Amino acid sequence: MKMKKFVSAFLASAVALSLVAGCGGGDKKKAEEKKPEAAAGAVKVGVFLPLTGDNAAGGELELRGIKLANKLHPEINGKKIELVVVDNKSDKAEAANVAARLIEKDKVKVILGSYGSSLSMAAGNIVKDSKVPAIGTSCTNPQVTKGNDYYFRACFIDPFQGTVMANYAFKKGAKKVAIVQEVSNDYSVGLAKFFKEAFEKLAGPGSVVEIANYQTGDKDFSAQLTNLKAKNPDAVFAPGNFTESALLVKQARQLGITVPFLGGDTWETQDFINVGGKDVEGVAFSSAFDSTKAATPEAKKFLDEYTKEYKGEQPGGLTALAYDSYLIALNAMKTAGVEDSKKIRDAIAATKDLETTTGKTTLNADGDPIKSAVIKTVKEGKFTYMDTVNPEDLKAK
């Protein structure tokens, strides 16, 4: 009797299990069958940004721009665009690794990024050798695209940005300036060099009275600032990462250095204001975009959607440029199709008068756009527009 009960129970359990397995297995099988089909129909676009580490705040702002562009323009030639986002961790070695992974494992057709010239340059040979095009978001060092037929960018470059800020300093009455540069950062060193060259053309040899160096991650700038103060400059140009730059300005004010501080486009993050507080009021820096001066229909679409998504916040240059990098890739794939990365590369290189958030974008022979810069300040805790500088304005000088 016990044996009969056991066998009956065993058989009942087996039947129940087979029914469950039959239903569940069937559903699972169907789901698995659908996944490859959906993936096969999608066009993969790599997104290569620092989402952790020293540059994370900049990377996050750019990711906002790319995601927003994807939301507003989700398809290409009837196919869904799938963003494959990787974190280069603000690290050069990791940048090369994740760029290779996007190409070899994820099979992306084009890559967007990165924030940070050093990080983009670290991936340069990867995209070049693999023949998969990349479009830099805010990597302004000329070496990102120079000699690399597969790297392009949405942003202006440092010779222009440095000249813009040198002209601004001179126009505001500076006859001698000091430079403080982040020597472990290609962006900072390059931008400082171009500023120096441009300022000396305006104010003459010897007008740069001090060049001080620091390393990424430094927190104490008292030695550099003490030496700088003794040289009595009329202004200080200090391009670098937003955190170190804000600390530098803060400590300068504490030492009684009251002259204007000038910087580059990396300063336009909320972290710069959060760290610097009232001490960064009145600084001036270059950017690529200001919401109050946005002129194109695409810029209006971008702004409308951004303020909805982020509850009335206003986007800065980093977010706008990242959005534009997506538009450049999208436009190229409309022309070249989505299968052949080399054809996409050729279509990117041919970009001309494309309507973007920062104006009409045309790429030159080096893969760089010729576009205007805006100069902003910090006023009452907010980034505030001051002026627009066009490339023609500088040629006329």
For the stretch 302-330, pLDDT in tens is 999 999 999 978 999 999 999 999 999 99
Chain Cα centroid distance, residue 12: 62
Helix, strand or coil for residue 133?
Answer: coil
Question: Where are the strands (E) in 137-265, listed by range?
Answer: 151-153, 177-182, 208-214, 235-237, 261-263
- Residue 3 — pLDDT band, cuts 50, 70, 90? very low
State both tokens at 184. Answer: 């472990």
- Taking only the tens place, the pLDDT of each residue in 238-293 is 999 999 999 999 999 999 999 999 999 999 999 999 999 999 999 999 999 999 99
Residue tagged 């070899």 (tokens): 104
- In the chain, the amino acid numbered 222 is S
pLDDT at 1: 39
Lowest mean pLDDT segment, chosen from 13-17, 41-45, 120-124, 203-207: 13-17
Q: Coil, strand or helix: which one is 108?
A: coil
- If we measure between CA atoms, which residue out of 315, 314, 345 comes closest to residue 328? 345
Q: Specify the pLDDT at position 393.
A: 87
Asked if residues 257 and 229 have their Cβ atoms less than 8 Å apart, the reply is: yes
Amino acid symbol at 225: L
Say if CB 358 and CB 288 are below 8 A apart: yes
**Is there a common fold for 41-156+303-366 and 158-287+373-396?**
yes
Instruction: Report the pLDDT value the prediction gives residue 319, as an integer from 0 to 100.
Output: 98
How many Å apart are CA 27 and CA 257, to the nearest integer? 70
DSSP state of 42: S
Residue 70 C-alpha from the chain's centroid: 16
* pLDDT one-digit tens code per residue, 114-156: 999 999 999 999 999 999 999 999 999 999 999 999 999 999 9
CA dihedral 216, 49, 239, 220 (to 10 degrees): -30
DSSP tag of 137: S
The Cα 67–Cα 87 span in angstroms is 15
* Domain ranges, ordered by start, for the chain: 41-156+303-366, 158-287+373-396
The rounded distance, in Å, linking the Cα atoms of 309 and 102 is 28
Percent helix, strand and coil across the chain, each to the nearest 5 = 50, 20, 30
**Predicted confidence (pLDDT) at residue 157 exceeds the cutoff of 80:** yes
Q: Which two tokens stand for residue 32?
A: 């698995």
Domain 158-287+373-396: CATH superfamily, name plus number: Response regulator (3.40.50.2300)
Q: State whether CATH 3.30.420.10 applies to domain 41-156+303-366.
A: no
